[in-house]
């Protein structure tokens, strides 16, 4: 299942991210705003349990998270989504996976991995602003399903290419994908068009 956000303010902020004249401060602010909307959409996959709470007037029923939620940003661009997601899901734990793309083969290479203990009911929300070839995400999903206890993941991106979506659907058809924009295609070196450039460099001001 692929969900593409359709919200006028998100569309406005996507335009800010795309603009090559947008400075680092404005880029970060737009990323945070989009991230909060993405977090609300991704949170629809969180399970809750009923609890009893006492208001100033009476007892009533309420809800708490039923299971662990673990945010897993793909370094380093994924860091830009951690703050808005923890704003919306303050109970969430945070892990990290470091993947780099080999610019010659376009294959992914892992260089760092540090994730809280996962259980079968844990929900892992994988954060990567740019879903291009889908290589990094599929590598991460393979690791989650083959090397950990978790069986529930959601993929979140700001910009996605059809090629990346197709790769995830082909390899992990039961994993939901939430994105703010589905772009046109990849160019001949694997960058998203029209895209927004390198999200990590633009967010961290290292252009």
The residue extents of the domains of the chain are 2-204
Compute the distance between CA of residue 69 and CA of residue 152 in angstroms, rounded to an integer: 10
| Coil/strand/helix, residue 65 | strand
pTM for the model? 0.92
Q: For the chain, what is the largest distance between any 2 Cα atoms, rounded to a whole number of angstroms? A: 65
To the nearest 10°, report the CA torsion of 207, 7, 129, 201: 10
Give catalytic status of residue 18 as yes or no: no
| DSSP 8-state symbol, 154 | E
Give catalytic status of residue 13 as yes or no: no
Walk along the chain (207 residues) and give the pLDDT tens digit of each residue: 899 999 999 999 999 999 999 999 999 999 999 999 999 999 999 999 999 999 999 999 999 999 999 999 999 889 999 999 999 999 999 999 998 767 777 677 889 999 999 989 999 999 999 999 998 999 999 999 987 777 899 999 999 999 999 999 999 999 999 999 999 999 998 899 999 998 988 998 887
Of 18, 33, 76, 198, the catalytic one is: 198
Tokens of 166: 């197709």
**What is the dotted CATH code of the domain comprising 2-204?**
3.40.50.2020
Compute the distance between CA of residue 74 and CA of residue 112 in angstroms, rounded to an integer: 10
Cβ-based neighbour number of residue 35 at 10 Å: 26
Residue 140's nearest CA partner among 190, 201, 43, 73 is 73
Give catalytic status of residue 198 as yes or no: yes
- CA 167 vs CA 12, 77, 84, 138, 172: distances in Å: 28, 20, 27, 8, 8
Of 87, 142, 201, 206, the catalytic one is: 201
Of 52, 55, 105, 188, the catalytic one is: 105
Long-range contacts of 12-16 (CB under 8 A, 24+ apart): 14/158, 14/159, 14/180, 14/181
Give catalytic status of residue 15 as yes or no: no
Residue 45's nearest CA partner among 136, 137, 154, 141 is 154
Of 28, 100, 101, 151, the catalytic one is: 101
């Amino acid at each position: 299942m692929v969900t593409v956000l359709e919200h006028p303010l998100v569309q406005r902020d996507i335009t800010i991210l795309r603009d090559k004249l947008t400075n680092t401060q404005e880029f970060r602010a737009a990323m945070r705003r989009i991230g909060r909307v993405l977090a609300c959409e991704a949170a629809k996959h969180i399970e809750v349990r009923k609890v009893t709470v006492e208001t100033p007037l009476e007892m009533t029923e309420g809800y708490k998270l039923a299971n662990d939620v673990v945010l897993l940003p793909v370094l380093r661009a994924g860091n830009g989504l951690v703050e808005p997601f923890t704003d919306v899901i303050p109970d969430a734990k945070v892990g990290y996976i470091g993947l780099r793309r080999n610019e010659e083969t376009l294959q992914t290479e892992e260089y760092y991995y540090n994730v809280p203990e996962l259980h079968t009911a844990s929900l892992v929300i994988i954060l990567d602003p740019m879903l291009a070839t889908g290589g990094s995400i599929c590598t991460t999903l393979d690791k989650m399903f083959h090397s950990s206890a978790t069986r529930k993941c959601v993929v979140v991106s700001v910009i996605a290419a059809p090629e990346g979506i197709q790769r995830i659907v082909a390899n992990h058809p039961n994993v939901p994908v939430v994105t703010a924009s589905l772009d046109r295609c990849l160019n001949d070196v694997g960058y998203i068009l029209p895209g927004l450039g390198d999200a990590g460099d633009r967010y961290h001001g290292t252009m």
